[in-house]
Structure 1
Amino acid sequence: METVQKKPVRLIAAVCNNNGIGKDGKMPWNLPSEFQYFLKTVTTVSRPGKMNLMIWGKRCWQSHPETTFPLANALHVVLSTKLKTVPDHAHFLCQDLESAVRLASQPPLADLIETIWIIGGTQVYEHALKHPWCDLVYLTDIMADFECDVFFPEFDRGLFKLQENFSGVPSGIQEENGIKYKCQVFKREIGDAV
């Protein structure tokens, strides 16, 4: 039987007042420093030679500007049941979240991958929030109203608790281009059951 190395599954998103995350395939806001924080978070590894696996839904992948790639220390999986070939700049194509997580936790990638990052969209986030390995949700609160057509799913804030002063996360309210935002991390509370 193949050995499975459990990997942390983490979600990252920026959401405005109505939980919106996108409009017409684009970010509704322009916050370069928040985007730099996103990039730094998903590309940080504990030592050279390690990589993170980023999981993208097909539409989310297609909506990102090509100038985003390549990203340091990152391998990309695109989820799709329709695509037959791996999209440009991506490394893998999987049909669902579970097969992408399995890819990262079994040979040959198991020793290379540190963290699995869920980049979106809505359905991928929904599945990831239910995944037993999901431990953290990095959620930037964009403190403004934007018209959106894609939304971050509701999640159990009793199960995922807001953390104070989380390492590597800017504290307090930031402001850029007249828009206030707050970088937050929610951690899954592990019960007594093992």
Structure 2
Amino acid sequence: MFSYWPPTKMQDRWEVSEKPVRLIAAACKGGGIGKNGTLPWNLPCEFQYFLRHVTRVTKPGRFNLLVWGKLTWLSNPPTPFPIANVLNAVLSETLQTVPDFAHFLCSDLDSAVLLAARHPLADLIETIWVVGGSRVYKDALEHPWCDLVFLTDIMAEFDCDVFFPEMDTKVFQKQDRFAGVPSGIQEENGIKYEFQVFKKKK
């Protein structure tokens, strides 16, 4: 199951099965999403919200594909892995081997999306979740298969060195309510936040 993608030109012979491309992130005031390779806040319940979404599949034996930029992947402690119902694709133009706990190494976002759409496992992959970092989020926002952005608004200021890209709110429209997403202001460890969903206008 561990491989570099694309391995050969064989993938050009496979039909493309379009998959939803979705972003999930948490950003503080000013759009910060990280500092020195870590999250600058400690919100376990918000992290569980993340896990519920990226692991949710419609049937046993199905998977979601999580797409990680190299630095985002390497900043993660090994504790959460393996994640149920998830295959991990790491994006890098410099790594030569698939990182520990990952399943695929892809050169860019388009390669990872085509992996989910054309790979022999494509029938088992339901959703492509983009989980960072900043450049990968930007590319995902511009991808034609992108339909939803799950962006937690952290209502506090933190010192960050990585930021969520600017999102065109005329294209991505905030939803008042969304199934499976708690509404209203949440609070944890003295930090208030709100779960938000933006839907791409067709």
Q: Is TM-score (shorter-chain normalized) higher than 0.5?
A: yes
1:148 aligns with 2:148: no
How far is the alpha carbon of 1:142 from its aligned partner? Answer: 0.1
SS in 2 for 1:66: coil
- 2:70 corresponds, among 58, 68, 72, to 58
Structure 1 segments unaligned to the other structure (5+ residues) = none
The equivalent residue for 1:104 is 116
In the superposition, the TM-score normalised over structure 1's length comes to 0.97
Question: 1: distance between equivalents of 2:92 and 2:98?
Answer: 10
The equivalent residue for 1:94 is 106
The equivalent residue for 2:48 is 36
The equivalent residue for 1:114 is 126
Question: 1: distance between equivalents of 2:183 and 2:168?
Answer: 23
Task: Please tell me the root mean square deviation across aligned C-alpha atoms, in Å.
Answer: 0.6
The equivalent residue for 1:70 is 82
1:187 aligns with 2:189: no
- 1:9 corresponds, among 18, 21, 43, to 21
In the superposition, the TM-score normalised over structure 2's length comes to 0.93
Structure 2 letter corresponding to 1:102:
L
SS in 2 for 1:111: helix
Structure 2 letter corresponding to 1:6:
E
The alignment of Structure 1 onto Structure 2 pairs a total of residues equal to 190
SS in 2 for 1:33: helix
How far is the alpha carbon of 1:103 from its aligned partner? Answer: 0.4
How far is the alpha carbon of 1:145 from its aligned partner? Answer: 0.2
Structure 1 letter corresponding to 2:25:
A
The 1:174–1:17 alpha-carbon spacing in structure 2 relative to 1, beyond 3 Å, is same
Question: 2: distance between equivalents of 1:168 and 1:82?
Answer: 38
Query: What's the CA shift string for 1:120-154, capped at 9, x where partnerless?
Result: 00000010000000000000000000000000000
Which aligned runs of 4 or more in structure 1 are off by greater than 2 angstroms? none
Structure 2 segments unaligned to the other structure (5+ residues) = 1-12
Question: 1: distance between equivalents of 2:36 and 2:42?
Answer: 15
The equivalent residue for 2:142 is 130
How far is the alpha carbon of 1:19 from its aligned partner? Answer: 0.1
Question: 2: distance between equivalents of 1:143 and 1:56?
Answer: 25
SS in 1 for 2:58: coil
How far is the alpha carbon of 1:86 from its aligned partner? Answer: 0.2
How far is the alpha carbon of 1:2 from its aligned partner? Answer: 2.1
The equivalent residue for 1:164 is 176
